[in-house]
Amino acid sequence: MNYTALIALVCACIIWGLSPLFYHQLNHIDPLMIMAYRVIWALFFLIVFLAITGKLSGILYLVKNLRSFMLLAFASLMIGINQFGFIYSISVKQVIQASFAYYIFPLIAVFFGFIFLGEKFSKVQFIALFLALFGVVFLSRGLGEIPYIALLLGITFGIYGLIKNHLSLNSLQTISVEICLLSPIALGYLIFLGLSSEETLFDVSRIDFCMFIGSGLITSLPLFLFSLAISGLNYSTVGLVNYLNPTLQFFVAVVIFSETFTLTHGISFGLIWISLFLYSSDSIRVELSRSRKISSTD
């Protein structure tokens, strides 16, 4: 196993999982403003990381290829909505829903693969999907409302993952193009805010401005680490380690933020955890079987 890649992946998931603690410090600021600054500073750091890895020139191919560019434009819309939804979930004290979303994402990805790519369900995957669906329905019935934040985050990230899987391009380069496409919207919003109110582009405290810069770093750094990790690890390992992200978010929401966690939440999360165990076990089985076949033919 490539332990350097594994450490990079674990670090990326820890940053993602603990990021609610960071954004919680900005709860006094409008989520749209946080998102705008996050996009601008993330682009700055992504350009730095691209320059370090020598992949900056590869951006030109992605921009010149019309088909790839259009798909990346749609992907940027999905990841933009997803990132804003995550910040919004923190501002309205619904981090539990955010963690729920990233738990159900692998199962949404399997469902999208069936619908759009013609992939087949195994019996175990079908049971896992049924349990996940039942968990979402149970949560909706128990809370008396649809968990719209969880579904928004899960579905937008699922669509985003589908596009990225279809493109099969360098993840660091593609996310840089996506953030670049979002940056004019972010900058336009900040300028509009300055023109339509007494606030200006830099009309924030020094601490808040440093936090905005930090938001760009904690957006881009895990993406950089993730791009380093996925080339050195197999798919099942990446999938399993990624559960560290929503697990940490869940811990932060319940233990640190003291968000309400009812019996309904417990049953719903229990169903999701069982479905993920079934899905992960089946994925590992398939991966091991594929590895044995490859080794036997060598």
Listed in sequence order, the residues at least 6 apart from 72 whose beta carbon sits closer than 8 Å to its beta carbon are: 62, 163, 167, 174, 177, 178, 181
Give pLDDT tens digits for 65-103: 788 889 889 999 999 999 999 999 999 999 999 998 888
The domain locations on the chain are 7-297
Q: What is the pLDDT of residue 206?
A: 87
Residue 234's pLDDT band (boundaries 50, 70, 90)? Answer: low
Structure tokens at 92: 């309205």
What is the pLDDT at residue 18? 95
Averaged over 205-230, what is the pLDDT?
88
Read off the pLDDT of residues 18-60 as tens digits, 9 standing for 90 and up.
999 999 999 989 999 999 999 999 999 999 988 888 888 778 7
Q: Which residue blocks in the chain are alpha helix, DSSP H? A: 3-24, 31-53, 59-64, 66-91, 95-116, 123-143, 148-167, 171-196, 206-230, 235-241, 244-251, 263-297
pLDDT for 118 equals 79
pTM of the model: 0.86
Q: What is the mean pLDDT of residues 11-22?
A: 94
* Mean pLDDT for all residues in the chain: 85
Given the structure tokens 């019309």, which residue do they identify?
Answer: 66
Beta-carbon-side half-sphere exposure of residue 79 (alpha carbons within 13 Å): 25
Say if residue 279 is exposed, middle or buried (CB neighbours under 10 Å; 0-12, 13-18, 19+).
Answer: buried
In this structure, what token pair is assigned to residue 161?
């993952």
Q: Percent of the chain, pLDDT > 70?
A: 91
pLDDT at 296: 65
Q: How confident is the model over 207-234, as a mean pLDDT?
A: 85
166/171 Cα distance (integer angstroms): 12
DSSP 174-209: HHHHHHHHHHHHHHHHHHHHHHHSS--TT-S-HHHH
Residue indicated by tokens 């910040």: 87
* pLDDT > 70? residue 202: no
Residue by residue, what is the 3-state secondary structure of 242-282?
A: CCHHHHHHHHHHHHHCCCCCCHHHHHHHHHHHHHHHHHHHH
What's the pLDDT score for residue 54?
84
Report pLDDT for 37: 94
Which pLDDT band, with edges at 50, 70 and 90, does 211 fall under?
Answer: very high
Structure confidence by residue, pLDDT tens digits, 123-157:
887 888 888 888 888 888 877 788 899 999 989 98
